[in-house]
Amino acid sequence: MTTQGVLNSTTGTLYVVATPIGNLDDISARALKVLRDVALIAAEDTRHSMRLMQHFGIPTPLAACHEHNERDEGSRFLARLQAGDDVALISDAGTPLISDPGYHLVRQVRAAGIKVVPVPGPCALIAALSAAGLPSDRFIFEGFLPAKAVGRRARLEAVKEEPRTLIFYEAPHRILECLEDMELVFGGERVALLARELTKTFETLNGLPLAELRAWVASDSNQQRGECVVLVAGWQAPEGDDAVSADTLRVLDLLLKEMPLKRAAAVAAEITGVRKNLLYQVALERQ
């Protein structure tokens, strides 16, 4: 991983600035000051960001920094920073680099020993998590799933037994397919939440078992519009009889007929590789 090392005090600073994901009132006073004070704003889409600048009366010039030109144009922004100019990096909405461009520029700037300063603010995944009612002490963010069903299902299979809360972004035209595949892979009983159009007029947050959530979205085309965040409850290890296979249970039952419970659990553990303590608890429940 690139480390910042000793900073060059004669260069400018790259500010990574979070902007609203919908409600313009969510922009911070600090973000507005930075955007006014820097010499240049590197924006994912200059036409989109120009409307934000005009709304707040910010005259700072904009330059494009998107996924198609980020590697090539990075040297342009780096040159401005090395000349002593401060530059702000913004995305179309939310926090830059979170499923948005900016990683290559930030890495290049840090490698050059130039200071990078985050200006925190709105982030759709954090906003959704804060209101989801799902465990938030540990979670993983998977970004956008593959567009094709085969790749999407493979990615979901890879996190099927992940115990942490899962968070995904999804395009509105694929949200129903996404929920269908989640139901297929995770099971219809796994609890999930769709957070749609966060901070906007038609903001919706609905948490249901996946089968019910999928049916709800399928029945209402309005839920298939706008920006979507999907949160899925983490996997929980089964308990009791459900935690062991049918073959293991047969072995345990045969041994219980021939020997004391504790000994039967120990022998079954040796035969099957299942933890002895778990088999002991299962044996207690079966007697």
Among 99-103, 123-127, 203-207, 234-238, which stretch is predicted with the lowest mean pLDDT?
A: 234-238
Distance CA 151, CA 219 (A): 26
Same domain, 251 and 160: no
Q: Which residue has the higher pLDDT, 140 or 1?
A: 140
Same domain, 43 and 107: yes
Mean pLDDT over 142-153 rounds to 97
Residue 3 has pLDDT above 60, yes or no: no
Same domain, 192 and 170: yes
Same domain, 109 and 136: no
Distance CA 147, CA 156 (A): 13
Within-domain flag for 1: no
Query: Which of 122, 155, 179 delimits the end of a domain?
Result: 122
Domain hosting 246: range is 240-286
Same domain, 111 and 136: no
Among 37-41, 71-75, 198-202, which stretch is predicted with the lowest mean pLDDT?
A: 71-75
Residue 232 has pLDDT above 80, yes or no: yes
Within-domain flag for 195: yes
Same domain, 114 and 129: no
Same domain, 147 and 199: yes
Within-domain flag for 162: yes
Same domain, 17 and 112: yes
Within-domain flag for 258: yes
Of 141, 127, 124, 123, nearest to 232 by C-alpha is 141
Query: 163-194 pLDDT, tens per residue?
Result: 999 999 999 999 999 999 999 999 999 999 99
Q: Is the pTM of this model over 0.85?
A: no
Burial class of 101 by CB neighbour count within 10 A (0 to 12, 13 to 18, 19+): buried
Residue 1 has pLDDT above 50, yes or no: no
Within-domain flag for 260: yes
Q: Where residue 180 sits, what CATH number does that domain have?
A: 3.30.950.10
Q: How many domains does the chain have?
A: 3
Query: Which of 122, 150, 166 delimits the end of a domain?
Result: 122
Query: 4-36 pLDDT, tens per residue?
Result: 555 666 899 999 999 999 999 999 999 999 999
- Using a pLDDT cut of 90, give the percent of the chain over it: 77
Q: Which residue has the higher pLDDT, 194 or 272?
A: 194
Mean pLDDT over 228-232 rounds to 98
Query: Which of 122, 142, 165 delimits the end of a domain?
Result: 122
Within-domain flag for 4: no
Within-domain flag for 267: yes
Residue in the structure block whose two tokens are 């972004």: 169
Q: Where residue 110 sits, what CATH number does that domain have?
A: 3.40.1010.10
Query: 236-267 pLDDT, tens per residue?
Result: 866 655 567 778 888 998 999 999 999 999 99
